[in-house]
Structure 1
Amino acid sequence: MIEPITRDLLPPPLLLQDDVARRRDLLAAGVSQHALATRCRPSGPWQLLLPGVLLLANSPPTRRQRLRAAVLYAGAEAVITGVEALHEHGLAVSGNEEVHVLVPIRRRLSTRDFVRIERTSRPPRPEIIDGLPFAPSSRAAVDAARTSGDAEKQRAFLLAPIEAGLRSAEQIRTEINAGSQRGTAALRPLLEEPLAPLLTNTVHEGWARRITRQTPIPPPTWHVRVYDRADQLLGTADAWWDDVGLAWDFGHQRDARTAIRQSTFAKEGIVTLRTPLPHLRGNPVAVSEDLASAFLRATQRPRPPVRAVLTSGTVR
C-alpha cells in the first residue's frame, strides 16, 4: 500500500505550480525517501519527468508541465527559447516537442530527454509569461532557425515575429550578428534582398493577424476577392469572415479606390471595417473592440449573396 501524503507535507504552493516539483524540495518538506520511491513506481501516482524533477500525477505531462519541468531541471537562470518561446509569443510555427533552454555558460548541465540544454555567454533578459521565463521573440526565432536543418522551417521561424509585427527584419538581423554564430551561415541570406522589402510590406498584416488572435471572434481568411451574384468582382478584402460576410480593410491608404470599394461592399450588404495603419499599430486594443463590434453587426443581418475567392480556390 502506498504511504499517504497529506497536503501539509508538501512544499509551499509556489513549488507546486503545475503539479511539478523538484525532488530535493519534496524531501526538504518532509516527504520521505521511501514515499518518493514508492509513489514513483511504474504503477504509482507520481512519475519522474527529468533527473530530480517529479510530476505529481501519473498522466502524460501537458505542454505546460513539460515547460515547468524543464525550468526546474535547468535552474533559476534558465530561459526557454526556440519554438516553445515563439508559441508563447503567440506565433503559430511547427516544430518538434523539444524544449530548448538557455543556461549561463558557467553551468555544467547536459541535455536530457525532451530538454535541449544550451550554454550561452549571452543569456537574454527573460520575458516572464504566466510565471515562466521566455526569450524575446527575436532571440527565440534565431535560436529556433539556427538549430533546424530544414531550410523552409528556418525561413518560417525567422519570419514569424516579423509577419506578426513583433520585430523588424533589422532586429532579427542584429540578433543573428550578435549571438552564437553556430548554424547562422544559412540564415543571413534569408534576410537579404529581395526578401527585405517583402518583409517590410507584410508588417502591417502581421499586426492585423496578431490582433485577430486576441479578439474573441473566429479567424478570418486573408486576401480574398469578393464577387456578387452575377459574378462581378466587387473588390478585394484584406481579411474576410465568410460565414457573416464581414470585410476588414487595413492595408491601403484612404483614396478614391478604397472609398469606391467600401461603397460597393456596402451596397451589397457587406459589413466593412476600415482601420488606418497608424491606428492598427498604435491602438490594438481599440482595433480589437472595433472588430468584435463589426462582427456582431454582421451576425445581426442575413449574410449577403456574395462569393469570396482565394487565389488557390473558392471560399464560398
Structure 2
Amino acid sequence: MPRPSQRVDTVALDLLIQRDDGVMSHAELQELGVPLSSVGHKCRPGGPWQRGLPGIVLAHNGRLTRRQQLVAALKYAGPDAVLTGATALETYGARSRAAASVHVLVPQTQHRSSSGFVVVERTWRLPVAVQQARLPLAPVARAVIDEARRTKGLDDVRALVAESVQRLRCDPLDLARELAAGQRRGSALARMALEEVLVGVRSSAEADARSALLAGGVRLPEWNVALYDAHGEFLGVVDGWYDDVAVALEIDSMEFHFTAADYKRTQRRQAKLASAGALVVPVAPGDVRRDRASFARLVGETLERAAGRPRPDIRRAP
C-alpha cells in the first residue's frame, strides 16, 4: 500500500503501460502511488482509461486487442495463472483453434472465479509454464486435452488432436501421458481420437475412413507410410497402405490440405504410385461420410483384385 504522502512514480507508470500493453492491476497502480480514487476518475464515462476486469484497468478507452485480453486475464487470475486450451493453442500457432474467451489455469487452492471474457479453471495439476511471447502457456499436450474436454463433437476433437500432432509437433505419447494423468470425466472423445492417432491416423478424414472400414469388416491398412520404388526412388507418403497387395488409400480433398500446392502434390504422388504399379483408391472425405458401406465395399473389392495380380516391387520404409 502506498504511503499517504507518496507521489506517483510517473516514470515507472509509463514503463508499466509500455511493457504490459496498457494493462494495469489495482495493486500495481497503488504500488506506484496512484490512489484508487484517481483510477476511478480516469475510468469515468468519457475518461482516458477503462475497466477491463475486476481490479484490472486499461490505459485507453478503446476496444481491447487480443493480447490485451490475454495480459488482463493473467493479471486478473493471479501470478501463478497459465493460459491453456484454445487460448494457448492459438498462441502456439494452431490454425483451427480460436476462442472469444481466455482460458486460464490457477492452483486449486486459489479461489478465483470466471469473469467477463475469462474462464478460470482450478486444478491440482498446474503445469510448468512454457514462456512464449512473454506469456505463460500450458505445454501443447496439456492445452490440447484441456480443450478437448470442453469440445463436444468427435470430428472437432479429431481435428484438434491431428493438428497438434502435425502442425504443432506434439508427440502422441505426451497426449497419452496427459490423458492418463488427468481426470477421466469429459475425456471420452479425446481417448477415441488419441487411439486413432496412436495407430498412425493423422486427420479426421483418415479417422472416418478407419471407422468405415471397421464397420464394413474390411481389414485396416497401415497409416501414413513412406514408399519407394525398386530403384530406391521416393514415391511419397500415402494415407493408407496394404503392403501385401500394394494398394494405397488416399484421402483426396482440398478440405484436408492446407494449400492448393499440397493438393497438387497429392495428385502428383498418386500418378507416381500408379506408374510404379500400385493400385490407388482415391477417396473424398465427404463420400466416406455419405456412404460408408460403399466406401468399405470399394476398398474390399480393390484388395481382392490386387491379390490376383503380381505384386509390383514397391517398398515401404522400415
Common fold by TM > 0.5: yes
| Residues 89 and 202 of structure 1: CA distance in aligned 2, closer, same or farther (over 3 Å) | farther
**Contact 1:15 / 1:21 at 8 angstroms: preserved in 2?**
no
Q: Select which of 48, 59, 76 maps to 2:51.
A: 48
**Contact 1:142 / 1:157 at 8 angstroms: preserved in 2?**
no
Aligned counterpart, 2:261: 221
Aligned counterpart, 1:146: 149
Determine whether 1:85 maps to 2:88: yes
After TM superposition, the structure 1 stretch with the greater mean CA deviation from structure 2, 74-83 or 5-14, is 5-14
| Counterpart residue type for residue 167 of structure 1 | C
CA distance in 2, matches of 1:11, 1:177: 46
Give 1:81-160 correspondences, 5 Å limit: 81-160=84-163
Query: 1:106 aligns to what SS in structure 2?
Result: coil
Q: How many residues in Structure 1 have an aligned counterpart in Structure 2? A: 222
The ranges of structure 1 where at least 4 consecutive aligned residues each deviate by more than 4 angstroms after the TM superposition are 202-205
| Residues 222 and 136 of structure 1: CA distance in aligned 2, closer, same or farther (over 3 Å) | same
Determine whether 1:28 maps to 2:68: no
Aligned counterpart, 1:302: none
**Contact 1:224 / 1:311 at 8 angstroms: preserved in 2?**
no
CA distance in 2, matches of 1:110, 1:74: 8
Query: 1:103 aligns to what SS in structure 2?
Result: strand
**Contact 1:9 / 1:31 at 8 angstroms: preserved in 2?**
no
| Counterpart residue type for residue 127 of structure 2 | P
CA distance in 1, matches of 2:80, 2:95: 26
Determine whether 1:201 maps to 2:224: yes
| Counterpart residue type for residue 224 of structure 1 | K
**Contact 2:16 / 2:24 at 8 angstroms: preserved in 1?**
no
| Counterpart residue type for residue 57 of structure 1 | H
Aligned counterpart, 2:76: 73
| Residues 137 and 220 of structure 1: CA distance in aligned 2, closer, same or farther (over 3 Å) | farther
**Contact 1:101 / 1:118 at 8 angstroms: preserved in 2?**
yes
**Contact 2:94 / 2:168 at 8 angstroms: preserved in 1?**
no
Query: 1:223 aligns to what SS in structure 2?
Result: helix
Please report how far the alpha carbon of residue 85 of structure 1 lies from its aligned counterpart in structure 2 after TM superposition: 0.7
**Contact 1:104 / 1:119 at 8 angstroms: preserved in 2?**
yes
CA distance in 2, matches of 1:194, 1:22: 43
| Residues 12 and 201 of structure 1: CA distance in aligned 2, closer, same or farther (over 3 Å) | same
CA-atom RMSD in angstroms: 3.4
| Counterpart residue type for residue 124 of structure 1 | P
Determine whether 1:163 maps to 2:166: yes
Please report how far the alpha carbon of residue 36 of structure 1 lies from its aligned counterpart in structure 2 after TM superposition: 0.8
Please report how far the alpha carbon of residue 8 of structure 1 lies from its aligned counterpart in structure 2 after TM superposition: 3.0
Please report how far the alpha carbon of residue 151 of structure 1 lies from its aligned counterpart in structure 2 after TM superposition: 2.8
Query: 1:221 aligns to what SS in structure 2?
Result: helix
Give 1:270-289 correspondences, 5 Å limit: none
- 1:115-160 superposed Cα distances (whole Å, 9 cap, x missing partner): 1111111111111011110011111111111012233322222222
Please report how far the alpha carbon of residue 101 of structure 1 lies from its aligned counterpart in structure 2 after TM superposition: 0.4
**Contact 2:172 / 2:198 at 8 angstroms: preserved in 1?**
no
| Residues 187 and 71 of structure 1: CA distance in aligned 2, closer, same or farther (over 3 Å) | same
Listed as ranges, the gaps of 5+ residues in structure 2 are 1-7, 203-222, 227-235, 238-257, 277-282, 286-318
Q: Select which of 192, 196, 221 maps to 2:195.
A: 192
CA distance in 2, matches of 1:143, 1:128: 18
Give 1:228-239 correspondences, 5 Å limit: 235-236=268-269
Please report how far the alpha carbon of residue 27 of structure 1 lies from its aligned counterpart in structure 2 after TM superposition: 1.9
- 1:14-50 superposed Cα distances (whole Å, 9 cap, x missing partner): 8841110101211221223232111111211111111
Please report how far the alpha carbon of residue 219 of structure 1 lies from its aligned counterpart in structure 2 after TM superposition: 6.2
Please report how far the alpha carbon of residue 82 of structure 1 lies from its aligned counterpart in structure 2 after TM superposition: 0.5
| Residues 75 and 102 of structure 1: CA distance in aligned 2, closer, same or farther (over 3 Å) | same
Identity of aligned residues (%): 33
